[in-house]
Copies of this chain bind each other. A is one copy, B any other.
Amino acid sequence: MKKFVNEIENVLQESLQGFCNAHSELLEYQNDPCFVFRKGGGLQGKVALISGGGSGHEPLHAGLVGQGMLHAACPGEIFTSPTPDQMEAAALKVDGGEGVLFIVKNYSGDVMNFEMASEMINCPNKTIITNDDVAVEDSSFTTGRRGVAGTLIVEKIVGAASEEGSNLESCYKLGVEVNSRTRSMGVALTSCTVPAVGKPTFDIGNTEMEMGVGIHGEPGRKRVSIESANSIAEEMTNTVMEDLNSDPKDPVLLFINGFGATPIMELYLMYNCVHKLLTQKGYRVLRSLVGNYVTSLDMNGCSITVSSLNTEMIRLWDAPVNTAALRWKC
């Protein structure tokens, strides 16, 4: 295992400390129970957006805490759900009197623990479950579809609505609607390696790829020989767009997400392939995002996410955001 680490049991804590130190103008960090939250005030009169999940997907979610996006994030151990007391403590800290909205990727542990937190806190609260991954129904840690990179799009758009003063019910409905308009699919060329395990999560041949892989290295649809970027893009784009079943007249947001070890040059090459395919199908790519945002430790691979957004959602996507990982107009 080739990694920049000290003691294995401290990886999360050391990385999180570094993260919060590097972005101390944006964020604060509270330990035991652990969560990251926006620095400064500005909470009053806003719906508090809280997300979280297992670590190893950085910059998701802590990198998305800041003006125009999340109010707090609860990091679990690597690929392990955070605990309800983390979410409870975060809610207590960032509740601004307008209620709490949890945004949760659809993994059984996460869903269960956020549900417990929801019952523990006294303020009004709702939970959006994201499930954008079209690759498989049910998976190692999931009943139904997995929540993956599309979660970032939900967090951005709902974050902008909260910032503008939308109430809990409106934010919730908006998030559910954005999730329903969003589909993703991933592919891996290599496995990730969980530090505490010390060896790759799955074995994969030198000329193979895992089509439809999950962000914890869960199995996808099939193990096949690596194909050209165009062929990979075509299979993923077709699967995503058939499932999304949106009107080609509606503009789309195209998000090419790296899993952690994929060179930026290749992510943009994949963007080029998918952009061409969507254009050929008559879709108008109105917004784009390319980079390592929802990663899987050191996995070499990527996912494509397409969101079919209405004019109001595009406006909210464009609204100012100031987080460690996503920043514009701020």
Rounded to whole angstroms, the CA-CA distance of A209 and B18 in the bound complex is: 23
Nearest-Cβ distance from residue A322 to partner chain B, whole angstroms: 8
- Report whether A269 and B15 are in contact in the complex, using a CB–CB cutoff of 8 Å: yes
Interface centre among A2, A18, A295, A297 (most CB of B within 10 A): A18
Cα–Cα, bound, A191→B271 (Å): 25
Residues of B within 8 A of A329 (CB): 330
How many copies of the chain does the oligomer comprise?
2
Q: Nearest chain-B residue to A301 (Cβ)?
A: B4
A264 and B295 contact, Cβ closer than 8 Å, known pairs A269-B15, A330-B328 = yes
CA distance A99 to B256 in the complex (A): 38
Question: Do A19 and B268 touch (CB < 8 A)?
Answer: yes
Q: Which B residues lie within 8 Å of A11 (CB)?
A: 265, 269
Interfacial residues of chain A within 110-126, with CB under 8 A of chain B in the complex: none
Q: Is A280 an interface residue (CB 8 A)?
A: no
A260 near B260 with CB under 8 A, answer no
Q: Which of A136-184 contact B (CB under 8 A)?
A: none
- Given A11-B269, A55-B265, A58-B265, decide whether A275 and B190 contact each other with a Cβ distance below 8 A: no
Question: A31 to chain B: closest CB distance in Å?
Answer: 14
A86 within 8 A of partner (CB)? no
**A3, A23, A292, most chain B CB atoms within 10 A:** A3
Min CB distance A303 to B, Å, is: 12
Which residues on B sit within 8 Å (CB–CB) of A6? 228-230, 269, 273
**In this assembly, does A290 line the interface, its C-beta being within 8 Å of a C-beta of chain B?**
yes
Q: Residue A14 at the B interface, CB < 8 A?
A: yes
Question: Which residue of B15, B16, B22, B228 is within 8 Å of A288 (Cβ)?
Answer: B22
Q: Is the CB of A206 within 8 A of B264?
A: no
Q: With A4-B232, A18-B271, A21-B271 as given contacts, are A263 and B261 in contact (CB-CB < 8 Å)?
A: yes
B189:A22 contact, CB within 8 angstroms: no
